[in-house]
Amino acid sequence: MKYLIIMLSLCSVAVHAQFVSERLGDMRGAPLREIKYENVSGTPYLLDFWSKGNVTTKSGKRYADLQLKYDIMGDQLIYQDAGGNPMYFVDPLSAFEITTVDSSANYKFINGLPAIDGLNQASFFQLIATGKLTLLKRVYKKITESKEYGSATVDKSFNTYSGYYVLQNSALSKISINKKSLLGLAPDKEKEITDYLKKEKIELKEDKDLSKFFAYLNKQ
């Protein structure tokens, strides 16, 4: 039940008209000392620029229209104060969402989920689809090194990886994104699902397709 409450809370965050925001001055933050990555190409963040977003604290307070960055390497959300300084949240968060500057994409994250794969209830997961089968995505980054043949120079770069998880009946399990695994979520509906994937031309390669597919599954 507590996971359902989290989902419903996040849905209310997404609807600005229903979003009751606390005053920014009431938010408890502390100056952030950013980690400097020397000679590493790419970014440790989800988006390498400040983006508008909303947050919900575990105590239930909500703050709207903040300038946010999600540090994937540190699994930490930071915000920009009125003076333009990067800050981290003192109060624990339960959910946040970030919208790109051009509004072409919106990312929603939650935590408070069952521990799995070395992750705990403080770990953030991206919310892809909600329902009796909730699809979550764990995004993480690693610094990889490469060197061209015959070169003494080592190139370092941030590389992004991800894993998908399904929350069902308050249990969290990892899932492979392929037709066989997804059919296993509803084995008695194999023909209907196969026909649906073919009709809608869903290839299960992008999150928007997975969101659409799980919306269909949750109606079955």
Shared-domain flag, residues 67 and 142: yes
Give yes or no: residues 56 and 128 share one domain: yes
**Rounded to whole angstroms, how far apart are CA atoms 208 and 197?**
14
- pLDDT attached to residue 16: 37
* Spatial distance between the Cα atoms of 41 and 152, rounded to a whole number of angstroms: 18
Give residue 49's pLDDT. 93
Q: Structure tokens of 168?
A: 């069902």
Low pLDDT (below 70) residues in the chain: 1-27
- Asked if 164 and 136 count as a contact pair (C-beta separation under 8 A), the reply is yes
pLDDT of residue 28: 74
77 contacts 68 by C-beta, under 8 angstroms? yes
pLDDT of 184-198, one tens digit each?
999 898 999 999 999
Domain that holds residue 220: 177-220
Report the predicted TM-score, pTM, of the whole model to 2 decimal places.
0.84
Q: What is the pLDDT of residue 24?
A: 54
Verify that 112 and 32 share a domain, yes or no: yes
Number of compact structural domains in the chain: 2
Statement to judge: residues 170 and 185 lie in one domain: no
